[in-house]
Amino acid sequence: MAYNLLKGKKGIIFGALNDQSIAWKVAEKANEEGAEFILSNAPAALRMGEIQTLADKCNSIVVPADATNLDDLQAVFETAMERFGGKIDFILHSIGMSPNVRKGIPYDQLNYANFLKTLDISALSLHKMLQVARNLDALNTWGSVVSLTYVASQRTLVGYGDMADAKALLESVTRSFGYIYGRDKKVRINTVSQSPTMTTAGSGIKGMGSLLDFSERMSPLGNATAEECANFCITLFSDLTRKITMQNIFHDGGFSSMGMSARAMDRYEQGAVFED
């Protein structure tokens, strides 16, 4: 059911890869709620995914861009402003990748060149995005920027590796830039800490199946799906949440407030062994 929450709004959605990705679901929901937007992802990701199908469905275009490259980002924002005849209203940052995690390199043996790539792709890309947008004055007053994060930014989860450090940095950038952008332009910036979700990126994390089972048992409301996350992101883009900024908002069925649940304890008492 659509509510026209984004009627007349324009935006940019970074990170849609295929129909498993949260950014893809956000794009579909934004389209249903009346928004217009352009899509962007790295050229390599575009070759792997099916984003043109999404663009066709949503009457959008795809602008390839390396989110760590300032010139590429400027081209994306300039294209959006030209296409829409002015400023935009929302941005989704759904970008994250760790070469160390992909290659199975443990946290205590990190390849530091890889580590810097992790930070650049997964966190500094948000700072670069915001810096470019602010320099171009690309966002309307009361615009909204949302990034996707995970509870591993604040708690240790085995297997998440240096992505945990990247998510912590992402949340810090949200607060620091959120103050400046909010003070000067009334633009709000928030992160959504989503339940573990079986996206293409998430499936590469060791023990993902066990993590999904554990968090489902721990969360009183159960894991939040990609579709449910998309719905929540839409509310953050809308005018209903104008006074929310610099926040990390948990969208995880209550997992982040739990210590131990009866369902998880029952699993252990049955002798279940989770992957480490």
Q: Is residue 194 part of a domain?
A: yes
**E strand or H helix at 40:** strand 36-40
Q: Is residue 35 part of a domain?
A: yes
Q: Is residue 217 part of a domain?
A: no
pLDDT of 272 above 60: no
Q: Is residue 2 part of a domain?
A: no
Domain ranges, residue 186: 10-204+222-259
CATH number at residue 141: 3.40.50.720
The number of distinct structural domains making up the chain is 1
Residue 204 pLDDT level (bands cut at 50, 70, 90): low
What pLDDT, on the 0 to 100 scale, is given for residue 276? 43
pLDDT of 164 above 90: yes
**E strand or H helix at 134:** helix 125-136
114 token code pair: 């890889």
Q: Is residue 134 part of a domain?
A: yes
Beta bridge pairs of residue 148? 192
Q: Is residue 36 part of a domain?
A: yes
| Tens-digit pLDDT profile for residues 211-260 | 899 899 999 999 999 999 999 999 999 999 999 999 999 999 999 999 98
Helices (H) and strands (E) in the chain, counts: 11, 6
Q: pTM for this one?
A: 0.94
Q: Is residue 264 part of a domain?
A: no
Q: Is residue 182 part of a domain?
A: yes
